[in-house]
Amino acid sequence: MGLFNVTRPPSFLLTGIPGLESLHPWLAGPLCVMYAVALGGNTVILQAVRVEPSLHAPMYYFLSMLSFSDVAMSMATLPTVLRTFCFDARSIAFDACLVQMFLIHSFSMMESGILLAMSFDRYVAICDPLHYATVLTNEFIAGMGLAVTARSFITLFPLPFLIKRLPICKSNVLSHSYCLHPDMMKLACADITINSIYGLFVLVSTFGMDLLFIFLSYVLILRSVMAIASHEERLKALNTCVSHILAVLAFYVPMIGVSTVHRFGKHAPRYIHVLMSNIYLFVPPVLNPLIYSAKTKEIRRAIFRMFHRIKL
């Protein structure tokens, strides 16, 4: 019990965008639109995959997992973001902040794992199409989904306890309108080496390895595609990967941008750091349903048929 019996504030104060407080009411509208697109678009895709027999295939099962993680991520940040920007209600209880921190990091890691699983799906479909149905069975897909979920929750389970062991007495003001582990640990007036090392370990061993394996899978895919004699067949094979490549870029480019600004942009204005973090969390859930709806004709047809039946 004594391990967690340390000085800490009963609550934290969240921050919108430093220096742009007067614009918060104007930013609330675009934020609400982004949440509506993220929640609505991903829910439509989930429903389309559920009701349309033509989408009962491995690629779309993975897409539904991606949409679920995007919905969960949006729901994890929505309460505090809208309270901060719409009502200037900035206070959040310490334990509630820990729960939100855990959920945000978990669903973010889950999305990274799902993108890796989707790259494996594309690799098998293009490099070993004859064994696609025997490799990517429903049981295998369910196992991959469970493995991605278990990895996220098991890997990040220590984070709340690593924060609870720290005395927090520098301040109770966070830098964002939601709770993140790096932001919370900086408020501690004690040695945070363990937190920093564990955070770096998690980043490299999960997100870093996922990105490495995604890159390697596309190296193998390109090698296989280049061996196809027909130019049209090469384009057709690559076209099946476009949506996934765009989803990977939408997820990892903002993440790399946040890391770069954090490491090398220490003299940049605070609102730059906050804006980059917001882009990293908000943009992928908004873009993913738009990307797949625009680039995948099977998704468009299924959505059209679904809404046509609703009208009837």
Assess if residue 173 is contained within a domain. no
Structurally, how many domains does the chain consist of? 1
Per-residue model confidence (pLDDT) at position 4: 60
- Residue 226, H or E segment: helix 209-226
User: Does residue 71 lie in a domain region?
Assistant: yes
Contact 52, 302 (CB under 8 A): yes
pLDDT of res. 1: 43
pTM summary value: 0.94
- Whether residue 9 lies inside any domain: the answer is no
Lookup result for tokens 């990977």: 248
What token pair was written down for 244? 């996934």
Over the chain (312 residues), the average pLDDT of each successive run of 10 is: 68 86 86 95 95 93 97 95 91 96 96 97 94 95 97 96 90 91 90 92 95 96 89 88 94 86 70 82 93 90 83 60
Whose structure tokens read 């908004």? Answer: 286
Looking at residue 244, its amino acid is H
4 lies in some domain: no
Find, among 290, 209, 213, 206, the residue nearest to 246 by Cα.
290
Is residue 8 in some structural domain? no
In terms of residues, how long is the chain? 312
C-alpha distance from residue 23 to each of 28, 84, 116, 275, 278 (Å): 9, 12, 38, 14, 16
**In the chain, what's the furthest Cα-to-Cα distance?**
69
Instruction: With residue 160 as reference, give the H or E element that holds it.
Output: helix 158-164
Per DSSP (E only), the strands in the chain are 11-13, 91-93
The boundaries of the domain holding residue 132 are 21-167+179-311
Q: What's the confidence (pLDDT) of residue 260?
A: 76
Q: What is the C-alpha separation between 186 and 12, in angstroms, rounded?
A: 13
User: Residue 123 and residue 221: Cα distance in Å, rounded?
Assistant: 6
Please count the other Cβ atoms lying within 10 Å of the Cβ belonging to residue 185.
20
Q: Is 217 within a domain?
A: yes
pLDDT, position 48: 93
What CATH number does residue 284 fall under? 1.20.1070.10
- Could you give the CA distance from residue 59 to residue 117 in angstroms, rounded to a whole number? 10
**DSSP helix/strand/coil, 11:** strand
> Which amino acid makes up residue 87?
F
Please report, to the nearest 10 degrees, the dihedral formed by the alpha carbons of residues 174, 176, 178, 179 taken in order: -40
> Is 300 among the domain residues?
yes
What's the rounded Cα separation, in Å, for the pair 80 and 90? 8
Domain annotation covers residue 172: no
